[in-house]
Amino acid sequence: MKIEDKGNGELVCFIPERLDVNSADATGEEIMSRLVPGISHLELDLRDTVYASSAGLRVFLTCYRKMTGLGGTITLTHVQPSIMMLLDMTGFTDFLTIQK
């Protein structure tokens, strides 16, 4: 997974094609290691992500909680229709900022 530091406290994380039990822990740990004081915005770019399991949802939730704890924001971008349906069905659209 690629992470870009855009400066001014902004990070962009490019999420892998599948965010499931095999990849979620490593992906989440890599992102969390970069969420330190001074990071004010996290963008999770899902342009390549075609599948997310409940383990993937846990990554989104953990990132959301960490960013709100830091007083920052999180946005999911380039969300594929299948992932959007999952986020909608699980209520994640109620608290996550999502840009299709």
Name the residue among 81, 72, 85, 79 with its Cα closest to residue 99.
79
Instruction: Dig out the tokens for 34 from the structure.
Output: 């970069």
Condensed to tens digits (0 to 9), the pLDDT of residues 21-46 reads 999 999 999 999 999 999 999 999 99
Burial 59-69, CB ≥16 within 10 A → b, else e: bbebbbebbee
Q: What's this model's pTM, rounded to 2 decimal places?
A: 0.95
- Looking at residue 51, what is its pLDDT? 97
What is the per-residue pLDDT across 59-98, written as a single tens digit (0 to 9) for each? 999 999 999 999 999 999 999 999 999 999 999 999 999 9
Domain annotation for the chain: domains and CATH numbers: 2-99 (3.30.750.24)
